[in-house]
């Protein structure tokens, strides 16, 4: 199974923003690129982003597999102590508007949106504010809020890209 352009762009956006993320890309020819926080990484996260930016579609056609350590396969959330990240397929302004309208992220939680116009996505970071921050990875309330925010962005993208019948 080949890796799609959107999968590759999402991984590159996360690699550039999320501390500790590691991406492992294997091409159809067997070449392997390791990027991010791994000891054996050839590229930093930003270097991987630049590589993907220069040829995401071309790279996707030659990519056989993509592994992103630090991202929960069941939810699509990247977890770090005290924060959750996800990739919104919407531009940053639309992502921020969607998050405000959905009311998924309410105090004591905060959402910060970082647009990546070149990759065509936004990365959202969801945290607790102030002293309420849980300093370890396990925070079920933070997971729930981030997942609700992610879902609202995916629904908004589906509505925006679906032609009216």
59-107 pLDDT, tens digit each: 555 788 899 998 998 999 999 999 999 999 999 999 999 999 999 999 9
Give me the pLDDT at residue 130, please.
72
pTM over 0.85: yes
Least confident of 3-12, 53-62, 140-149: 53-62
Q: Which domains does the chain have, with CATH numbers?
A: 5-69 (no CATH), 78-161 (3.30.70.60)
Give me the pLDDT at residue 59, please.
55
Which position has the token pair 């690699």? 15
Which candidate, 95, 94, 77, places its Cα nearest to that of 86?
A: 77
Please report, for residues 88, 101, 103, 147, 162, the alpha-carbon distance to residue 96 in angstroms, rounded to integers and kept in the order given: 10, 9, 11, 15, 20
On whether the CB atoms of residues 35 and 132 are closer than 8 A, the answer is no
Q: What is the DSSP string of the chain?
A: -PPPHHHHHHHHHHHHHSTT-EEEEEETTS-EEEEES-TT-SB-HHHHHHHHHHHHHHHHHHEEEEEEETB-TTT--EEETTEEEEEESS-HHHHHHHHHHHT-S-TTEEEEEEEETTTTEEEEEEEE-GGG---SS--HHHHHHHHHHHHHHHHHHHHHHSPP-
Is pLDDT larger for residue 73 or for residue 157?
Answer: 157
Least confident of 11-15, 24-28, 44-48: 24-28
Q: Does pLDDT of 12 surpass 60?
A: yes
Average pLDDT, integer, range 104-128: 95
Give me the pLDDT at residue 56, please.
54
Percentage of the chain beyond pLDDT 90 is 69
């Amino acid at each position: 199974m080949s890796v799609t352009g959107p999968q590759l762009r999402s991984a590159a956006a996360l690699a550039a923003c999320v501390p500790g993320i590691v991406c492992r890309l294997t091409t159809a020819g067997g070449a392997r690129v390791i990027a991010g926080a791994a000891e054996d990484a050839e590229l930093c996260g930003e270097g991987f982003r630049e590589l993907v930016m220069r040829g995401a579609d071309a790279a996707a056609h030659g990519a056989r597999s993509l592994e992103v350590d630090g991202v929960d396969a069941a939810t699509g959330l990247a977890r770090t102590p005290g924060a959750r990240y996800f990739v919104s397929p919407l531009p940053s302004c639309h992502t921020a508007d969607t998050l405000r309208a959905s009311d998924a992220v309410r105090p004591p939680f905060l959402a910060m949106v970082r647009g990546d116009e070149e990759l065509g996505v936004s990365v959202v970071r969801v945290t607790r504010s102030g002293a309420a921050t849980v300093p370890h990875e396990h925070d079920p309330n933070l997971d729930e809020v981030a997942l609700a925010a992610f879902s609202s962005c995916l629904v908004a993208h589906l509505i925006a890209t679906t032609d009216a019948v």
